[in-house]
Amino acid sequence: MGTLLLIDGTAVAYRAFYAIRGLSTSGGQPTNAVYGFIRMLRQMEKIWKPTHRVVVFDGGLPEDRMEALETYKAQRPDMPDTLQQQLPDINEFLERADAAAVMLERFEADDVMATLARQARESDAGVLLATSDKDLYQLVTDRVSIIPPSKSNERMGPAEIEKKTGVPPERIVDWLALVGDSSDNIPGVPGVGAKTAAGLIRSFGSVSGIYGRLAEVASERIRNALDKNRDVVMRNIDLMTLQTNLSCSLDWEAAKVRKPDPEKLLPFFKRLEFHAMAKELEE
């Protein structure tokens, strides 16, 4: 079936927006996020040569996570206006480039990517997940890898995930449940950092193993913190386990990576004054 590249479009747009400053048309229209977004996609495709590709965007916060934790992602500021202004152009580029894009209302990109990755695995395809989100580490297998947008020439498989976190991909949810995730405003167990959590999981196998043998935890401070925050850890497991059965079907034909059509893309590049990209197409 080939290789499917799943791109966290919202994260890549943010990264492009902050990585490139001050780029705009002669009329003052901001274009930095659009330009960076296109460059990142092209770079990933050049390096990894996927046969299929889908860009996934956040569709909002799911009700079940908000009910479980009212402050979930509440610390995140609103999207900057100048980035918001560029989203229509990013979407237009994807349409003109015949690049499949998906957004499900009230669902996060992570869950959509998890659902599409499962479907791809069931079709015996390889999967590359372009994301910097640790939640998606839980999906990594011998056929599913992470491509960090900041280092798109690197590929993280099970061994790399375990080296980075101290636990294998199948224990990432347990590890995150203990540590928490400040980027999502999810508190963990006070006093339990990444290394301590990894050590506990290596010693006891899992969160259930830890709580099944809590009296064996050597540190009284850690033992008491785990006992006091048992409900927090169990809630975190529910929060951090990605959904893989959303109502979203992988359209293999639409997801095919196709050669760019100059007639579609040239007017777009010229309008945004991406002269180098336009010249490349013309040649």
**pLDDT for 149:** 85
DSSP category for residue 79: P
CB-neighbour burial class of residue 2 (10 A; exposed 0-12, middle 13-18, buried 19+) = middle
Q: Which residues contact 120 (CB under 8 A, 6 or more apart)?
A: 1, 4, 126, 127, 250
Give per-10-residue mean pLDDT for the chain (283 aa). 94 94 94 96 95 95 82 83 96 97 94 96 95 94 93 91 97 97 91 96 97 95 96 95 93 94 95 94 84
Q: What integer pLDDT is reported at residue 275 of this predicted model?
A: 94
The per-residue pLDDT for range 206-233, each reduced to its tens digit, is 999 999 999 999 999 999 999 999 999 9
Note the pLDDT of residue 87.
97
Residue 270, CA distances (Å) to 24, 53, 94 in order: 13, 25, 16
Residue type, 267: P
CATH number, domain of 191, equals 1.10.150.20
Residues 278 and 203 in one domain: no
CA distance 78 to 252: 34
113 and 17 within one domain = yes
CB 175 within 8 A of CB 198: yes
State if pTM tops 0.75: yes
State residue 64's pLDDT score: 83
Residue 26 near residue 273 (C-beta atoms within 8 A): yes
pLDDT digits (tens, 9 = 90+) for 38-62: 999 999 999 999 999 999 999 987 7
Whether 162 maps to a domain, the answer reads no
180-181/186-187 β-pairing = antiparallel
Q: Residue 109: what pLDDT?
A: 95
Q: What is the pLDDT of residue 63?
A: 81
Residues 153 and 233 in one domain: no
162 φ, ψ (degrees, to nearest 5): -65, -35
4 three-class SS: strand
Same structural domain, 177 and 153: no
* Domain contains 14: yes
User: Domain containing 63: what range?
Assistant: 3-157+243-282
Q: Indicate whether 164 belongs to any domain.
A: no
17 in a domain, yes or no? yes
Q: What are phi and psi of 256, to 5 degrees?
A: -60, 140
Contact 171, 206 (CB under 8 A): yes
- In terms of residues, how long is the chain? 283
Say what the pLDDT of residue 120 is: 96
